[in-house]
Structure 1
Amino acid sequence: MQIYIYHRKISLEETQHARARTQLDTRMQMAANFLYIIFLLLVTVIVLQSNVTAEVPALIVFGDSIVDPGNNNGLKCLAKCNFPPYGRDFKGQSATGRFSNGKIPTDFIASQLGIKEYLPAYLDPGLSDEDLLTGVSFASGGAGFDNITAEVASVYTLWNQLQMFEEYKRKLESAAGIERAAKIVKDSIYIIIAGSNDIMVTYFTSNLRSNYDIPSYVDYIVQAASSFIKNLHNLGVRKIGIAGVPPLGCVPMVRTIRGGITRECVEIYNQASVLLNRELSAELTRLTHDLPISQIIYLDVYSILHDLIMNSSHYGFEEATRGCCGTGKVEATLLCNEELSALTCQDTSKYLFWDAFHPTERAYELLVTPLVKNYLPILF
């Protein structure tokens, strides 16, 4: 018996259809794989964000006007700004006492950590128990590590702020219970921003520390900062980020007073800033070894702000040598007021500085974002 095997001839059209189906199946598989990868990435981001929020229950801040959200409002002093045009770009165009047109660094830090959108002043009369649980700022505009800096300005010294923190801990225990309060204190992130007023005002402007040269006064400031950190550690604080000072010779007010007709950056101020930052960073390294179970990091504000100033157009700024308020050359705090509204800029996003010393909200965001991304995760 013969067996015949039938071979059907496959047409060109059928071959093309088969190839097309294979290609379609391949593309669908690739698309499915891509969507799966995107899904995993989204889940990872959500988990990481939730972990950060869980691990960082609160943000606690000490320092000067850069991070003061209104603690000076009730003081009889010059270093306050709870009046227009301050806060004109803040929620509700409210002059809360923040030394800017809108948000300040601690607002951005708190929001980027997923804690809350705004970090309130500890002395805010409307402060709630929830605010206590998630953090506050004790900062006072005009303060410094050197007590005399704040005393002359009639504002709260760093040591006054430390006393407020002790009071805060007692309130926290009442609101959350002793055990939970202790955990919040231990797991929270603490930010300290001070030193600029010591250099710019106490040393260079007044004669209050005329018996010091720059290196010896820098050492005095660094030891005061070290003592402050040790006191925080004794109160249960374990995660601390302390910022260096900015390039003080390039802020508008210093350019105007000491920068000559062309208002150049003043090198001696910047040199003092660099020296203070170097010595402070070294001291923090020593403290990290000396203080058990503590995480203490140096936040390099100088490099970021110097880059923003020197390469301002790259970041979309049209003006980096003067502030938005008034002429932008000397106006700050009480000198930056509604009477100067005709001279005040219309678009703050084009200005790096809001007044003659403090950056705009947009500049603060550009400053804070790399700090949160590159430095603060070390503390988580």
Structure 2
Amino acid sequence: MASKTASSFLYLSLLLSISMPNSATAFNKTPAIFAFGDSTIDAGNNNHIDTTMRCDHLPYGRDLPNQIPTGRFTNGKLPTDYLSQRLGIKDLLPAFLDPQVTDNDLLTGVSFGSGGSGLDSQTVALAKVLDLGTQFQLFEQALLRIRKIVGNEKANDIIQNAFFAISIGTNDMLYNVYMTQNTPHGSASSYQDFLLQNLQNFFERLYGAGARRVMVAGLPPIGCLPVIVTMDSISPSQNWLQRVCNDQHNIDSQIYNTKLQSLIHNLLQTTLHDAKIAYFDIYTPILDMVQYPTKYGLENSREGCCGTGTMEFGPVCNELDMICPDPSKYLFWDAVHPTQKGYSVMINTGLENTLLSYLTS
């Protein structure tokens, strides 16, 4: 379902297998990863702020070492953990606000992400989490610490060669367009333009701080998230009493992703000449898993593993809920977030050595 416009940006999202031998060695010039965004990359920052949008409780984290609920919104690893492994840096990318983060952790990268965050201040206010501006301020604090540890010259080298990952935007569409049905800025398209302007401002702030290698994820097929499927199935619509994807929401995601790729192209051609910004397509692998689950060894791609799998996520997915016998057979862990298996497939099929070579060369 990829758009024709997207194909013109193929050099930003070429596909290769993650199983290519010695891939970690190939990319070991990358000293660190710094991640910004929402629950897809929050390794536990929300544990340390005043918000109910938390998952520092079982069954979250049940498939991590020692079954520790670190604050990751899934049963195990996040995409940034797999990315860190892929680059040969470390097995898990920690949360910056974790008091156990060491100097060495900081030198090799941390996540500033916050579950529930978005590009719209209204989204962030609703969840009472960290917006991108606050995440950037935390990055500045981290940079000060790095300079104290290794000095200015080495710190500048780390930042210039580090990998910056951004994953954000889903909550804005989910909360402010689909759940409230009171679309800001008049239409979904106009709202997307507003969101992308805010994202552009963030790109420019990162660039001003020295970032030169940035990967940004597009939107998933939001219409296939179990919570959306459930809402459609119980409301008067063409999908009433059916557990199927909302096609219009998916079209909205495709339109956003095309606009995002155009924004990247324009920035590289105009103001950010010496930067490398890559679009990471998560839409295609997630939709493929939804439509062809057995192809990936999955048995369920419409409900989450936690509870009924239809509405539970965050604090509502807890130890009182029944859990599916084998999360590796499920695409979704809860009603919003993929399982560790889902994230693994997403990285394996969507993040390739060609894209990483472009960013790390």
TM-score relative to the length of structure 2: 0.89
Q: Deviations over 1:53-95 (max 9, x none)?
A: 1x10001100000110000002222211000110011111000
Is the 8 Å Cα contact of residues 122 and 136 (structure 1) preserved in structure 2? yes
Q: Aligned residue for 1:345?
A: 324
- Contact 2:27/2:356 (<8 A) preserved: no
Match of 1:148 among 114, 117, 122: 122
* Matching residue of 2:259: 279
Q: Which has the higher helix share?
A: 1
Count of paired positions: 333
Q: Which amino acid aligns with 1:262?
A: Q
Q: Is structure 2 residue 159 aligned with structure 1 residue 177? A: no
User: RMSD of aligned C-alpha atoms?
Assistant: 1.4
Q: Is the 8 A contact 1:120 1:127 kept in 2?
A: yes
CA contact (8 A) 2:170 2:219 kept: yes
User: 1:225-275, CA deviations, whole angstroms, 9 ceiling, x for partnerless residues?
Assistant: 111101110110000000101000001110001242112101221111111
2:216 equivalent to 1:242: yes
Shift of residue 51 of structure 1? 4.4
Match of 2:337 in 1: 358
Unaligned runs of 5+ in 2: 1-19, 234-239
Return the offset for 1:157: 0.2
Out of 296, 299, 303, the residue aligned to residue 318 of structure 1 is 299
User: Of residues 213, 232, 253 in structure 2, which corresponds to 1:258?
Assistant: 232
Of the structure 1 ranges 255-264 and 179-188, higher mean CA displacement relative to structure 2 is found in: 255-264
- The one-letter amino acid of 1:82's match is D
Report the residue type matching 2:310 in the other structure: K
In 1, the alpha carbon distance for the partners of 2:94 and 2:262 equals 31
Measure the CA separation in 1 of the matches of 2:256 and 2:181.
Answer: 19
Contact 1:246–1:301, Cα closer than 8 Å, also in 2: yes
| Identity value in percent | 38
Whole-angstrom CA distance in 2 between matches of 1:319 and 1:173: 48
- Does 2:311 correspond to 1:330? yes
Query: Which residue, out of 271, 278, 290, partners 1:309?
Result: 290
- Considering Cα pairs closer than 8 Å and 6+ residues apart, tell me whether 1 or 2 has the greater RCO: 2
SS at match of 1:72: helix
Give the alignment's TM-score, normalised by structure 1.
0.85
* Amino acid aligned to 2:212: R
Closer, same or farther: CA 45–330 of 1 in aligned 2, 3 Å: closer
CA contact (8 A) 2:85 2:92 kept: yes
- Aligned mates of 2:330, 2:280 — CA distance in 1: 24
Matched residue, 2:54: 80
Pairs within 5 Å for 1:49-88: 49-53=24-28, 55-88=29-62
TM-superposition CA deviations, 1:289-340 (whole Å, max 9, x none): 1213100111111011111111111111000000000010000001101111
The one of 164, 172, 175 equivalent to 1:201 is 175
Question: Which position in structure 2 is the counterpart of 1:32?
Answer: none
Is it true that 1:107 corresponds to 2:81 in the alignment? yes
Q: Which has the larger radius of gyration?
A: 1
Q: Give the CA deviation at 1:373.
A: 2.9
Deviation digits for residues 155-191 of structure 1, max 9, x if unmatched?
A: 0001110111111110110111111000000001101
- CA shift at 1:209, angstroms? 4.6
Q: Aligned partners of 2:178 and 2:21: how far apart in 1?
A: 47
Corresponding residue of 2:16:
none
